[in-house]
Amino acid sequence: LKTEVRCSCGYRGGVDYGLKEEFHLSFPLLKCPRCGGDVDILSGRECAIKNVEMEVPNAGIEK
């Protein structure tokens, strides 16, 4: 979901995204893209999980 922020420097808009390759996901960087300052989140607080895959070792479970 799209994130929109506001900064005291006057910036209002989207944010840059970081990538955690080991988790296969990107996440919003909650700093102002213009000045690097702290921001207020205007939208995009939601989280949408599209897919989950898990490996569960056979922990003594009998079939």
**pLDDT tens-digit readout, 12-60:** 999 888 887 776 777 788 899 999 999 998 988 776 677 778 888 876 6
pLDDT of residue 1: 61
Residue 23 included in any domain: yes
Does residue 53 belong to any structural domain of this protein?
Answer: no
Instruction: Decide if pLDDT at 62 tops 70.
Output: no
The pTM for the full model equals: 0.60
The CA distance from 44 to 28, in Å, is 9
- Is residue 56 in some structural domain? no
Residue type, 58: N
> Does 54 reside within a domain?
no
Has residue 50 been placed in a domain?
Answer: no
Q: How many domains does the chain have?
A: 1
- pLDDT bracket for residue 3 (50, 70, 90): confident
Domain hosting 12: range is 4-43
Q: Does residue 55 lie within any of the structural domains?
A: no
Distance CA 34, CA 36 (A): 6
Q: Per the domain annotation, does 62 fall within a domain?
A: no
Edge-first strand listing for the sheet containing 39-43: 12-13, 4-7, 39-43
